[in-house]
Amino acid sequence: MPADGIQLRPKQEMLTFEEIVQLAELFAELGVTKIRLTGGEPLIRNDIEHLVGRLSRIDGISTLAITTNGLLRPRKLDDLKAAGVTLFNISLDTLNAERFRAITRRDGLNTVLDAIRETLDAGYAVVKVNCVVQKGINDDELPGFVEMTRDMPVDVRFIEYMPFGGNDWTERYFVSYKEMVASIRKAYPRLERRKDAANHTSKSWAVPGYVGSVGFISSMSEHFCADCNRLRLTADGNLKVCLFGRSEVSLRDALRSGMPARELRSLIDAAVNRKQAAHAGMYEGSRTPNRPMILIGG
């Protein structure tokens, strides 16, 4: 979180629940089977459980996931589960209370840790824990996160630090996938590679005998563009076919102009067909203007 916070967008620029559902139905007709609500923080939306309920009832949608910082989730857990959330990702970059306060600009580490445990207690088979790794910030905590997987069915995903607007990206803070694995193996020499599912963005590993697993999202050092089947619809209605791409297509404006569904599908198809074979890499990405990750949402 930037020290000076963020400038909020006017409500009228945001997609309404009705527009989100309408576009989600269109994407489902085109073959999308999984929807993830992310952010920012999706749980700050009023009546988010009602949106979840409508999305979960769309024909063809088999997975409905939420990525959250975990601070608001405990009070909403029962309603979200009843509405149809099938998977939770909880963002957590540190297990140290002081570092947590410095990174997030607030207290709440214990709340997030409780959120992970309560989600598992609620009957979810696994909780994914997202950790962005930065050299000199939290890279010394990798073994601590791995230790979480000893007795808890969590999938800790270590994410390479990626360049976005406003995050002051520099190679000085970058830790590659291979460096992370080498660091963890000093404490856990039996760490072994697991088979990845098709179109999986995370390279899966585990310590034999541990209940959970760890994964590495190597967007920068070993990109997975050739297998990427993700699309992102921002909170203000823009379609991004690549997280690192500047190009955006406003489906909100097309929808509000009364564009027929057939033409909307053609608009989406054209955007997907313009998707590059691979992103330009971390060095070019750091020089290319893009939204701050916290404002991309989706």
Condensed to tens digits (0 to 9), the pLDDT of residues 152-203 reads 999 999 999 887 655 565 788 899 999 999 999 999 999 999 999 877 889 9
Kindly state the tokens that stand for 146.
Answer: 């791995």
What does the pLDDT read at residue 297?
60
Classify residue 197: in a domain, yes or no: no
- The answer to the question of residue 199 being in a domain is no
Report if residue 277 sits inside a domain.
Answer: yes
The number of domains in the chain is: 1
- Identify the residue whose tokens are 């963005």: 201
Confidence band of 280 (pLDDT split at 50, 70, 90): low
Q: What is the pLDDT of residues 3-42, one digit of tens each?
A: 666 667 788 999 999 999 999 999 999 999 999 999 778 9
Domain residue limits at 290: 1-32+230-298
* Rounded distance between C-alpha atoms, residue 134 and residue 163, angstroms: 12
Is there a domain that residue 138 lies in?
no
Residue of 48, 124, 114, 113 whose CA lies nearest to 86: 124
| Count of beta carbons in the 10 Å neighbourhood of residue 143 | 12
Sheet (strand 249-250) strand order: 232-233, 238-240, 249-250
Return mean pLDDT, the chain. 89
- Any domain includes 298: yes
Would 172 be classed as within a structural domain?
Answer: no
Query: Within a domain: residue 267?
Result: yes
Whether residue 295 is contained in a domain is answered as yes
Whether pTM exceeds 0.95: no
